[in-house]
Amino acid sequence: MYNLPEVVTMTAHNVLDKPVALDWPGNFWAHWGIYTVGIVLVVLLVVMGFIWFERRLLGPFQLRIGPNRCGPFGLLQPVADAVKVLLKEDIVPVLADKVVHFLAPIIVFVPVLLIFAVIPFQDGVGLIPDFNVGILFIIAVGSFETVAVFMAGYGSNNKYALISAMRGVAQMLSYEIPMVLAVVAVLLVTQSLSMQEIVRQQTVPFILLLPMSFLLYFIGALAELQRTPFDLLEADSEIVAGYHIEYSGMKFAMFYLGEYGSAFAISAIITTVFLSGWKGPFLPPFLWFFIKAFAVFALIIWIRSTWPRVRIDQLMAFAWKFMLPLSLINIVIVAIEVLVWPAGLPWGLVFLNIGIMVVLLTLWAGMFKLRGGPQIES
């Protein structure tokens, strides 16, 4: 019953959904060139938008206003910051591993751009929106960011950067597993790895149909992005920066860019996989995509302004003792549902699945224990 591809292919005829692109001058390469440039521009623009959006939105949560002087509504503030950071001195520690130190900020931004190659911004609009192993590609490329984090920590020749990078790698690897297993449950339902196909099959958004998967993926995404409540290695208010403590000027800006770029990437993935991507009434489809991505990011900011951060032992225990077993149970439940309704899950399952989620969370939270130290109060 599974239609997994026998061979992973990426030719012009295979990857292009609409034949229109083939009629363009230069065939596939024109499509490739235009979309590559377009995606890079869109990602950079949205990253600047995200930086502005976060600062503007954190304002009211802290009873202040946020940037409002530079341009209308403070929209040009990220531009001003970028200019400032470009003009700053770039300091490399004497004993740093120069090559690794130089490469880390470049590598940190690459997976972000690669992820957007397979994201459908609209039905059939994207570099390769119907890539037949799309979500697998995203998971494979997305975990590449871990390497950049460790390169930054190692190359800086700073013990604090190294400790932070080690913890960061441990955190990213631990939360990668429940995240991937949460996506597996989605794939059981769609029976396709293509991002475009996943969106097309969502008559009911998967956030309602598979709430457990969404919750696990979202928590995993927060940890993967190293945002509150899992930002203990950056911890703005306590320690300075974590693994990029020895970076300044443009290199620091690249880390900043990578951080917000992956926030956009995760928002886009959640939008595509759980929030039915471009689908929506009245407005044009690509606009719906961006609205949903910004809404997901707004939720992340809301959480940032509210929750305290966890300790490192709580962090690891939560990943391995709470989220991993739950994601395995979730896969089993979804697999049974898919076997019972092979033609596609009926929308009535929304209520059943939400009930199952509440019961499972309650049971598992009751059994969750940290050994030593105070317990997590949920």
Partner 1 sequence: MSLKVPGIGLAKGLGVSIRHATRKRITEQYPEERLNVSRRTRAQELVWDPQRCTGCATCAKACPQGNIKIVTSVGTDNNYVVEKFESDEGRCMFCGLCVEACPYEALFFGRSYERAKYRRADLVASKEDMSSPEKEKSAYYRPELHEGLPEQTLLIYRKHKRPL
| CA trace torsion 8, 279, 263, 256 (10° rounding) | 100
Q: Is 173 in the site for partner 1 (CB under 8 A)?
A: no
Smallest separation, CB 218 to partner 1 (Å): 12
- Report how far residue 193's alpha carbon sits from residue 8's, in angstroms, rounded to the nearest whole number: 11
Among 305, 325, 350, 370, binds partner 1 (CB under 8 A): 305
Q: Is 68 in the site for partner 1 (CB under 8 A)?
A: yes
- Report how far residue 55's alpha carbon sits from residue 66's, in angstroms, rounded to the nearest whole number: 6
Give the H/E segment covering residue 159: helix 159-190
Q: Which is nearer to partner 1, 74 or 205 (CB)?
A: 74
User: Given CA atoms 280, 281, 286, 291 in this order, what sign does their dihedral have?
Assistant: negative
Q: Is 302 in the site for partner 1 (CB under 8 A)?
A: yes
| CA trace torsion 2, 185, 143, 140 (10° rounding) | 10
Q: Is 60 in the site for partner 1 (CB under 8 A)?
A: yes
Strand ranges inside the chain, DSSP E: none
Q: Which is nearer to partner 1, 108 or 219 (CB)?
A: 219
- Report how far residue 273's alpha carbon sits from residue 196's, in angstroms, rounded to the nearest whole number: 9
Among 64, 89, 340, 342, binds partner 1 (CB under 8 A): 64
Q: Is 351 in the site for partner 1 (CB under 8 A)?
A: no
Q: Which is nearer to partner 1, 105 or 220 (CB)?
A: 220
Q: Is 374 in the site for partner 1 (CB under 8 A)?
A: no
Q: Residues touching partner 1: how many (CB under 8 A)?
A: 24
Q: Which window, 34-42, 234-242, 244-252, 360-368, contacts partner 1 (CB under 8 A)?
A: 360-368
CA–chain centroid gap for 366, Å, is 29
Smallest separation, CB 64 to partner 1 (Å): 5
Q: Is 366 in the site for partner 1 (CB under 8 A)?
A: yes
The answer to whether residues 242 and 164 touch, using CB atoms and an 8 Å cutoff, is: yes
Smallest separation, CB 261 to partner 1 (Å): 26
Size (the chain), residues? 378
Q: Count Cβ atoms below 10 Å from residue 141 Cβ, excluding itself.
A: 18
Binding mask 249-288 for partner 1 (x = CB under 8 A): ----------------------------------------
Among 73, 341, 347, 351, binds partner 1 (CB under 8 A): 73
Q: Is 63 in the site for partner 1 (CB under 8 A)?
A: yes
The answer to whether residues 244 and 252 touch, using CB atoms and an 8 Å cutoff, is: yes
Q: Is 371 in the site for partner 1 (CB under 8 A)?
A: no
What one-character-per-residue DSSP string does 16-60 give? -SSGGGGGSTTHHHHHHHHHHHHHHHHHHHHHHHHHHHHHHHHHH
| CA trace torsion 189, 194, 198, 200 (10° rounding) | -130
Among 99, 295, 312, 358, binds partner 1 (CB under 8 A): 358
Q: Which of 208, 193, 181 is nearest to 346 (CA)?
A: 208
Residues 113-132 that bind partner 1 (CB under 8 A): none
Smallest separation, CB 54 to partner 1 (Å): 14
Q: Which is nearer to partner 1, 254 or 326 (CB)?
A: 326
Smallest separation, CB 236 to partner 1 (Å): 17
Among 9, 27, 203, 306, binds partner 1 (CB under 8 A): 306
Q: Which of 149, 148, 153 is nearest to 96 (CA)?
A: 153
Q: Is 7 in the site for partner 1 (CB under 8 A)?
A: no
The footprint of partner 1 (CB under 8 A) covers 59-65, 68, 72-73, 302-303, 305-307, 358, 361-363, 365-367, 377-378
